[in-house]
Amino acid sequence: MPLNHAYEKGHFYFHCAVGGKKIECIKKNPFVAYTIMKYYGTAEDFKTRQRCHGKWESVIAYGKARYVEDEQELRDALIKFMEYYGKNTFEPSKSSYLETRAIIMEVETMTARRELETKETEFYEWGE
């Protein structure tokens, strides 16, 4: 599922609505994987690189996610999220607590890959 995220000290922070598919899934099974990918190029670049090669980077994080319901923890998570995007003086409004929730993912391991011009893939892995 596509999500906006913030990252700090081994934790991803996500904001979400009060209800929905993400929350249902996490409550049923908190073990998750989260993927971030960036492709550097155009669609035409991709076509000329034998279909599966191009300049790209990706990170996959594995861990356990939980839905935040406590108001103080929700406040802290929303502030972390906004600080990550450069809003250092953010204070959640009353309506934020009614309309917004947070999901916190504790990362257990992450892998990263990237392919450069040489068509060689670099691989990195790190954990707790």
Domain at 39, CATH number:
2.30.110.10
The pTM of this model reads 0.78
Question: Is 95 part of any domain?
Answer: yes
Question: Is 1 part of any domain?
Answer: no
Q: What is the pLDDT of residue 96?
A: 76
Question: Is 52 part of any domain?
Answer: yes
Q: Check pLDDT > 60 for residue 51.
A: no
- The CA R_g of the chain, rounded to the nearest whole Å, is 17
User: Which region among 20-24, 102-106, 124-128 has the lowest average model confidence (pLDDT)?
Assistant: 124-128
Total tally of structural domains belonging to the chain:
1
Percent of the residues in the chain that have a pLDDT greater than 70, as a whole number: 87
Domain assignment of residue 36, given as a range: 6-127
pLDDT band at 104 (very low <50, low <70, confident <90, very high): very high
Q: Check pLDDT > 90 for residue 108.
A: yes
Question: Is 35 part of any domain?
Answer: yes
Write out 65-108 in H/E/C secondary structure. Answer: EEEECCHHHHHHHHHHHHHHCCCCCCCCCHHHHHHCEEEEEEEE
